[in-house]
Amino acid sequence: MNGVTITIALYSMTTGTAAIENKIALAATLTDTFGRVHDYLRISITDHCDLRCTYCMPADKTDFTPAAHLMTAKEIRSIAEAFVDMGVKKIRLTGGEPLVRTDARKIIQLLGELPVDLALTTNATRVDEFMDDFRNVGIRSVNVSLDTFDKEKFMRITRRDHFDRVISNIHLLIQNNFHVKVNAVVMNGVNDDELNRFVAFTKDYPVAIRFIEFMPFAGNGWSREKMVSQQQMLEVISKSYKVVKIEDEKNATSKKFKVPGHAGTFAFISTMTAPFCGDCNRLRLTADGKIKNCLFSRGEVDVLTSFRSGQDIIPLIVSSVRAKKKEFGGQQLFAKTENRSMVAIGG
């Protein structure tokens, strides 16, 4: 009897000692062949967005996923619960922009019933409409995508005029004591001249700025020349500020720094030049119900189709984890990669 068969047998036991053994066995199945334990699930609930950021969504994108092919709110809850039973401790909702989905409020409520740390990544255009919902389910950590503090540049990057609303909602989150991370994709000739402006924002506000190296996805026009490395960014910031390295959390994707005396911090997500694959604990579930065991994986595992046909999805989750490559989904990032667009994967 192989490991997957044992897992399924234990999964059918639901009471007493058997239930405890079941939990232990299922948790072990989220360990890949490199010994990495996956306890963090990022769920995209839509590939729609009210912004059109150049590095995320192809300019000519019109092929959004039809509603019938998206996971329903109840399907999201049920599939997420299977992951939680297998040891997932944190779930982050992403998109597209998750808050544009018409039943986003219901999804948040359903996932809030699970025994996990629930978080959200958003562009913040609609945060003010959901503050009570966040509080009700205990969401305290919100990542906001913002690539510039310049209103005109915001329009060029996002192709939309929502800058004032985004800034207002970032301040709203801060005022209500949310843990706010601001994610900025840094691109040469686009916003690399604003690094110190972002760091200056940490002086008075307890936010975590995270500078992200520009990564290649379908239709986003990536090139080496547009990418600004962690080392280049740090050199620029260090010319204006005294910076100190601070301790990173377990399984962290970012390298954290601080300017002494500042209320907040800043960090680098250096996927391209200083990857962190060896400590990865993340799995992704796309809005159309596919597991991506790595942001850059070519292959995907369709759990939604099997779920809808009444099949046990546990073996599919196991197979996806076991198939995870050592790094970058088995691809060479500085060569031509095969992947979806970022908006279709989920942040």
pLDDT digits (tens, 9 = 90+) for 23-45: 555 556 899 999 999 999 999 99
Regarding whether 24 and 108 lie in a shared domain, the answer is no
- The pLDDT score that the predictor gives to residue 221 is 65
pLDDT value for 181? 98
Phi and psi dihedrals of 64, rounded to 5? -70, 150
Statement to judge: residues 81 and 228 lie in one domain: yes
Residue 7: the pLDDT is: 40
Q: What sign results for the dihedral spanned by CA atoms 273, 277, 281, 283?
A: positive
Q: Which residues contact 311 (CB under 8 A, 6 or more apart)?
A: none
Task: Indicate whether 139 and 253 sit together in one domain.
Answer: yes
Q: So what's the pLDDT on residue 26?
A: 59
| Predicted local confidence at residue 6, as pLDDT | 37
pLDDT at 3: 42
Tell me, what amino acid is at 266?
F
Task: Provide the CATH number for the domain around residue 235.
Answer: 3.20.20.70
Tell me, yes or no, whether 157 and 17 share the same domain.
no
Cβ pair 223, 272 in contact under 8 A: no
Tell me: cis bond preceding 16? Omega within 30 of 0 counts. Answer: no
**Residue 83 near residue 315, CB atoms below 8 Å:** no
pLDDT of residue 4: 41
Q: What is the pLDDT of residues 157-215, one digit of tens each?
A: 898 899 999 999 999 999 999 999 999 999 999 999 999 999 999 999 999 999 999 87
Same domain, 290 and 330: yes
75 and 4 inside one domain = no
Asked if 20 and 37 sit in the same domain, the reply is: no
Residue 149 tokens, joined: 């503090």
pLDDT at 271 (0 to 100): 85
pLDDT along the chain (347 residues), means of 10: 40 51 65 96 92 70 80 98 97 95 98 98 97 97 97 92 96 98 95 98 98 78 82 98 95 95 97 88 96 91 98 96 89 70 67
* Shared-domain flag, residues 20 and 81: no
CB proximity list for 297: less than 8 A, separation 6 or greater = 324, 325, 329, 330, 339
Residue 220 confidence (pLDDT): 62
Same domain, 294 and 333: yes
**CB contact at 8 A, 341 and 286:** no
Distance between first and last Cα of the chain: 38
Are 57 and 137 contained in the same domain?
yes
55, 266 in Cβ contact below 8 A?
no
Q: Do residues 316 and 291 lie in contact, with contact meaning Cβ atoms separated by under 8 Å?
A: yes
Same domain for 249 and 209, yes or no, is yes
Residues 5 and 50 in one domain: no
Total domains in the chain come to 2
| Domain membership of residue 19 as a residue range | 1-30
Per-residue model confidence (pLDDT) at position 148:
97
pLDDT, position 17: 61
* Whether the Cβ atoms of residue 272 and residue 302 lie closer than 8 Å to each other: no
